[in-house]
Amino acid sequence: MDLLLIVLVSASTLTFFIFRCLYNQTKSSSNLPPGPRPLPIIGNILELGRNPPIALSKLSKIYGPIMTLKLGSITTIVISSPQLAKQVLQENSQAFSSRITPHAVQIYDHHKFAITWLPPTAQWRNQRRACATKIFSPKMLDSTKVVRQQKLQELLDYVKDKSLKCEVLSLGEAVFTPVLNSFSNTFFSLDLSHSASDEKSQEFKNIITGAMEDAGRPNVVDFFPILGPLDPQGFHARMSISFIKLRKIIDAIIEERMCSRVSKTDSGFEVANDVLDSLLSNVGGSSQLSREEMLHLFMDLFIAGIDTTVVTVEWAMSELLRNPDKLEKTKDELRQAIGEDATLVESHILKLPYLQAVVKETLRLHPPAPFLVPRKCDEDVSISGFLVPKDAQILVNLWAMGRDPIIWENPNMFVPERFLDCKIDFKGHNFELIPFGAGKRMCPGLPLAYRSVHLLLASFLHYFDWKLADGLTPEHINMEERFAGLSLKKAQALRVQAISIKQ
């Protein structure tokens, strides 16, 4: 009897779900933006292909810069123009400030604490205020620039050692550990890894890249929530493993610092001059965070900040090595602005307009988060005469915007010069170039990312010459992209040999 009841309930639930999907696919369709005809039940899931940013860019050329897809039970609106992106991210920001929360990130209630996934509540505003005043403020970043310079020097020493041994290095892997330690020293005043080759560094790399991929890759559970308990693709299970490891590490650091502060109350504790001490010292302050909030915030900052920094540097070096004239022009600027023997520091970035243009052009062609973080519409909104329905998922296709010939001349070519004598930046004001987003949900880590990417790239070019490994010539560098969840990475790692020019 119990088995028969289970079968009947399951069949009834499945039938209801099928008819609801069919109903939702036709409801108000005349008012929705155009898009490809959805298949029954699965909708347009197959249209995503292996590389959704490119697939949706091709579809936008057919259906226009605002387009509807049905992804299972979710109505998805894809935006592919700066004008419409401005309407969504700025002019109607209140309606589009919530998030679609992937099933994979709902671990330890992460979506209820983390700044990336929270709706714009008082809790979210408090974390945003902490980021602006305690974590990424100019004062805090200036106070921690010495430790970042030390981590950079360790990277340069590592590359120089490889150079002297004539050894090939994978650029992305070489950069990962120094970026990890740069972030961990800014936040906690300690290294989380000792070398690019040790097991801990590889473990962190697996955690961070795995979390970025599982959080953003198409997941059948997000399209059909009824399948949540089954987790058929295993995203939730893998994310659980990553979160457990990262949470344990960060929680232990917070616990040790809090105990240290308590034990030294009578004699006076030494201020570490880092982000964690700044947050712990803000008892009763306007941006005070609970321990749980700090834990989830740091997890978000590590996962998103490190991955996107490494990806951007690898793409920039790939583009420069593929375009030797642009590479030489960048190196010439460094020689003229800084001098042959001067030590490169963060303050030099302002003297390097061509290097800044190289970074902008890299972010145009290879946005590290090609869809930003998906948003959710909180109410019915009219955009460009079309209905964007409540609870729809919103994807802003930065990849399509960066390759649009209406916006950019020769859009598929790497031309940093387009940004010289041009006021376009990536700080959220110019919607042609918004790799960090725009409006109230703009990435809070932009100030640190700006310093890190520019200084890493400038240092590689200032202290070393480079040649491609494996007998490759510039025109044969593999520039194929791999969609890795929330980020867009090189399908094939950049392998190079460094030649030291600074003794």
418-422, 439-443, 482-486: the lowest-pLDDT one: 482-486
Tokens (6 digits) for 253: 């650091």
Q: What is the pTM of this model?
A: 0.91
Model confidence at 195, pLDDT cuts 50, 70, 90, reads: low
Model confidence at 7, pLDDT cuts 50, 70, 90, reads: very low
Model confidence at 16, pLDDT cuts 50, 70, 90, reads: very low
Model confidence at 12, pLDDT cuts 50, 70, 90, reads: very low
The set of residues, in sequence order, having a beta carbon less than 8 Å from that of 398 and lying 6+ positions away, is: 53, 367, 369, 370, 371, 372, 434, 435
Which residues lie across from 381 on neighbouring strands? 388
Average pLDDT over residues 212-241: 92
CATH topology of domain 31-500: Cytochrome p450 (1.10.630)
Residue range 424-446, pLDDT digits in tens:
999 999 999 999 999 999 999 99
Residue 363 has pLDDT above 80, yes or no: yes
Identify which of 221-235, 276-290, 336-350 has the greatest average pLDDT.
221-235
CA separation for the pair 240, 243 (Å, rounded): 5
Question: Which amino acid would we find at residue 13?
Answer: T
Residue range 26-47, pLDDT digits in tens:
444 569 999 999 999 999 999 9
Average pLDDT over residues 359-380: 96
Average pLDDT over residues 63-84: 97
Q: Please name which of 392, 313, 342 lies closest in space to residue 74, comparing C-alpha atoms.
A: 392
The set of residues, in sequence order, having a beta carbon less than 8 Å from that of 229 and lying 6+ positions away, is: none
| Three-class SS state of 337 | helix
Q: Report domain extents, the chain.
A: 31-500
Beta carbons of 354 and 333 less than 8 angstroms apart = yes
Residue range 74-90, pLDDT digits in tens:
999 999 999 999 999 99
Model confidence at 267, pLDDT cuts 50, 70, 90, reads: low
Model confidence at 212, pLDDT cuts 50, 70, 90, reads: confident
Residue 318 has pLDDT above 90, yes or no: yes
Pairwise pLDDT comparison (190 vs 364), residue with the higher score: 364
Query: Residue written as tokens 């088995």?
Result: 3
The overall average pLDDT reported for the chain is: 89
Model confidence at 460, pLDDT cuts 50, 70, 90, reads: very high
Average pLDDT over residues 307-321: 96
Residue 14 has pLDDT above 90, yes or no: no
Beta carbons of 127 and 297 less than 8 angstroms apart = yes
Alpha helices in 351-444 (DSSP H): 353-365, 398-402
What pLDDT does 20 receive? 52
Residue 503 has pLDDT above 60, yes or no: no
Average pLDDT over residues 466-492: 92
| Three-class SS state of 484 | strand
